[in-house]
Amino acid sequence: MRSIPFLMTIVLLISSSVLIGCKDNTNDKGGTPSATAEAESDASSNRGQAFIDDDSENPNALRLAMDSEDHTTLVAAVEAAGVENALVNVGPLTVFAPTNAAFDKLPDGTVEDLLKPENKSKLAYILTNHVAPSNYPISMLEKNLKKGRTLYMASGENVEVSQEGDDIIVGGAKIIGTVKVSNGWVHVVEDVILPKK
C-alpha cells in the first residue's frame, strides 16, 4: 500500500467510528450483539475504490496524482474539498491537473484561503472545473477543436479548447504532459482553469 496522506486517514477513522456507532442498537429478535462483533472493520473496500488492487496496468487518476511530486498542492486541495471519490470511480473522466507551480501563480494567499474549511464548496467547484466526463486523449481534444465542440466540465461549465502551434490550451491552461490512467486520462496543465462563475 502506498502512503496514505494523514488527512485522508483522519477522514477514514471518523467514518469508521460512525459505522461502529450505528450498530449499537438492540436486536428485537432476542439477544444483543456483543461488542466483540463490532466491525473494527479494516476491510479494504470500506476505504474506497482508490485502495483496491485491481490488476490494472495503470493507476487511477487519484493514485497518479498522489504519486506525483509536482501535484502535492492539487492532492491537498482534493482532500480538503473531499472529492477523492470523483477521481477514483469507474469514469470515464479526463482530469486537467495543475502543477504546484500553477497554483503558485495564483495571487498570494489564495490557496491557503481556499483550503479553509469554510471555503470547501468553493474549492470543490474549482476542482470539478478541472474534470471532464468522458475520455479526452489529445487526439479527441484536437477533434473537438476541428468540430467546434467545447469541453463540458463536471462543474457544469463549458470550457474552450484552442491551439497555439502544437500546444493544446484548455480554458487558458496549456497541456504540458499526458498520462493514460485506468479510469480515463490525466493532462498536466501549467495553469489553474479558473471558473467563469
Closer by beta carbon to other proteins, 78 or else 192: 78
Binding-site member from 13, 52, 101, 176 for other proteins (CB under 8 A):
52
Of 52, 56, 141, 57, the closest CA to residue 94 belongs to 141
- Distance, in Å, from the CA atom of 72 to the CA atom of 118, rounded to the nearest integer, reads 21
Amino acid at position 59, single letter: P
Binding-site member from 1, 14, 37, 109 for other proteins (CB under 8 A):
37
Amino acid at position 167, single letter: D
Strand 184-189, strand 161-164: pairing: unpaired
- Distance, in Å, from the CA atom of 187 to the CA atom of 194, rounded to the nearest integer, reads 16
Query: Is 94 in a helix, a strand, or coil?
Result: strand
Binding-site member from 1, 3, 25, 57 for other proteins (CB under 8 A):
57
Closer by beta carbon to other proteins, 25 or else 108: 25
Closer by beta carbon to other proteins, 26 or else 117: 26
Stretch in the footprint of other proteins (CB under 8 A) among 3-11, 89-97, 157-165, 166-174: 89-97
Burial of 53 (0-12, 13-18, 19+ CB in 10 A): exposed
Closer by beta carbon to other proteins, 110 or else 134: 134
Q: Does 121 bind other proteins (CB under 8 A)?
A: no
Binding-site member from 91, 95, 98, 168 for other proteins (CB under 8 A):
91
Of 126, 136, 135, 138, the closest CA to residue 175 belongs to 138
Binding-site member from 134, 150, 158, 163 for other proteins (CB under 8 A):
134
Binding-site member from 184, 187, 188, 192 for other proteins (CB under 8 A):
184
Q: Does 25 bind other proteins (CB under 8 A)?
A: no
Please state the closest distance from residue 182 (CB atom) to other proteins, in A.
Answer: 5
Pinpoint the alpha helices (H) of 89-135. Answer: 100-104, 110-114, 120-128
Asked if residue 60 lies in contact with residue 66, where contact means CB atoms within 8 angstroms, the answer is no
| Chain contacts with other proteins (rule: CB under 8 A) | 19, 27, 29-34, 36-37, 39, 41, 43-46, 52, 54-58, 89-93, 133-135, 143, 182-184
